[in-house]
Structure 1
Amino acid sequence: MTGPGAVRRHAPGKLFIAGEYAVLEPGHPALLVAVDRGVDVTVSGADAHLVVDSDLRPDRARLRWQDGRLVAADDGQPAPADLGAVTSAIEVVGELLAGRGLRPLPMRVAITSRLHRAGTKFGLGSSGAVSVATVTAVAAYHGVELSLESRFRLAMLATVRDGADASGGDLA
């Protein structure tokens, strides 16, 4: 396996105390807290392509880059829809790297979540936590440490590109 040593990043889940739906309207506040459950993303070397292992899905996904987007490695079809938050986060970091004259390395992205159990989500912001932890871990694996503001902005961009109608509260 090639690349630098493994990098692990964590993002906590969130709980809306008030304003969960109101915050989707401009100018309306919400009150959130981080919870003691979260998502861990570990990025390590891979022989080729990009491999995603996640306890959020039953099997491993093998992906490759094609025109700045991630597609299935074997047939070039779109990446699995259930990995939308992950692939969008990796693609955003890929654009950041490209802007710095770097190419994404082959890597294995392993995701472990304590924000669900046996396929049941608890409503604690798993997609937001996955986006933040993935952006942060993939960037760090490539030697790019992000400020808190940059993490938020890149994760928000990934979330919007994934098609989510989000306030960003879970990302913050």
Structure 2
Amino acid sequence: MNVKNYLSKGHDFLITVKAPGKLYIAGEYAVVETGYPAILVALNQFVTVTVQESNDYGSIYSKQYQENSLFWKREGNNMVFDNRDNPFHYILSAIRLTESYAQLLGKQMKCYHLKIDSELDSPDGKKYGLGSSAAVTVATIKALCRFYQLSISKDQLFKLAAIAHLDIQGNGSLGDIAASVYGGWIAYRSFDRKWLRSARHQLSLKKLISVAWPQLQIELLTPPKNLKLLIGWTGSPASTSHLVDAVGVKIAENKAGYQHFLHESKACLKRMIKGFQSQSLLLIQKEIRYNRKLLQTLGNLSNVQIETPLLRQLCESAEQSHGAAKTSGAGGGDCGIVVIEQQIDTHDLLDSWEKAGIEQLDLHVHQVID
């Protein structure tokens, strides 16, 4: 039986949940280090997961993910696959971890059909860089917790999703997981991943998601009322995992330069967070501009193109309209963000984007209610 047809026949007891995508506002690259801050937003574009109990067999279906690229490299004569950009591996990791947790709580395992529908990776293959792997991990765990009638807090959901995601990606800050779980604007400081690796051998999963994680901080932010966020997509998808790897290799050769970048990024983000706390758009914009310069410096330091020519054009045109702009996330393509005053007319800016081949993404910040 085709699961797509099965789930569309109107059967009862469907469980449906969704998790939002994200965008980084500031703090990229530095946030992969323990305790370093970043600011992110959750967006009103979602991954939706539907679960339906089955009596005989289970299945996983997604029209977006049925044909997904695989990356591989050579280690000697062996072909080694890199699964970090393949959403199905995050789904399977989320399933394994949630079912392990459910069994610890005495739940009986069942068969089920799992359907994933993503607005973050469009049917025609466009990848916007909105954190689909994080959102699908969060949505899958959330759906299965409801399926197995497990009551979990947002903090516990974050921790389960972070572990499942880290098992596949290996690197990264997990800030995208936080945005997908908590929603809105958040200040995020990454936890000690070395501690987590050790704690997983010493603590049960039930205990692990209940204890405090060293250095982890997640703070909800309220933006100034006159702040407007614009998002531009350059039409060139980028792989966060591969960019973070590439920067990591190069910065090992220039530790002093990297430490300076980390120090300045932390100071910049602390000031930017104060801008949110004091409702100062001007302070936020000032630090957005400084964070852009820091990322440009990191790109030069690591010989990795973080700000592509089209992203540079996006930023410069925004500055001409009195907005503060920068790359979002790992750069190398994907999106740029603009923080601008609500009252400013942005028609000329958006016209210049359209002429340059930059697509405005008509997205808004999403607040997670439940």
The answer as to whether partners of 2:87 and 2:136 remain within 8 angstroms in 1 is no
Distance in 1 of aligned mates of 2:94 and 2:169:
12
Question: What residue in structure 1 maps to residue 59 of structure 2?
Answer: 51
Question: What residue in structure 2 maps to residue 65 of structure 1?
Answer: none
Question: What residue in structure 1 maps to residue 150 of structure 2?
Answer: 144
User: Is 1:26 aligned with 2:34?
Assistant: yes
- Per-residue displacement from partner, 1:127-170 (whole Å, max 9, x unpaired)? 00000000010110111132101110100110111234121111
Tell me, what secondary structure is at the counterpart of 2:152? coil
Distance in 1 of aligned mates of 2:108 and 2:127:
34
Unpaired segments ≥5 residues, structure 2: 1-5, 7-11, 68-85, 179-370
TM (norm. structure 2) is 0.38
1:115/1:99 Cα in 2 relative to 1: closer, same or farther (>3 Å)? same
Distance in 1 of aligned mates of 2:53 and 2:152:
20
User: Is 1:112 aligned with 2:120?
Assistant: no
Tell me, what secondary structure is at the counterpart of 1:30? strand
Distance in 2 of aligned mates of 1:162 and 1:103:
26
User: Is 1:132 aligned with 2:138?
Assistant: yes
Distance in 2 of aligned mates of 1:146 and 1:55:
29
Greater relative contact order (CA < 8 Å, ≥ 6 in sequence): 1
> How much has 1:82 moved relative to structure 2?
4.8
- Which 4+ stretches in 1 moved above 6 angstroms? none
2:89 alignment partner, one of 79, 84, 89 = 84
Unpaired segments ≥5 residues, structure 1: 60-80
Tell me, what secondary structure is at the counterpart of 2:16? strand
The answer as to whether partners of 1:41 and 1:109 remain within 8 angstroms in 2 is yes
Distance in 1 of aligned mates of 2:22 and 2:114:
23
Aligned length: 149
The answer as to whether partners of 2:87 and 2:133 remain within 8 angstroms in 1 is no
Tell me, what secondary structure is at the counterpart of 2:151? coil
TM (norm. structure 1) is 0.80
RMSD after superposition: 1.8
- Per-residue displacement from partner, 1:62-84 (whole Å, max 9, x unpaired)? xxxxxxxxxxxxxxxxxxx6511
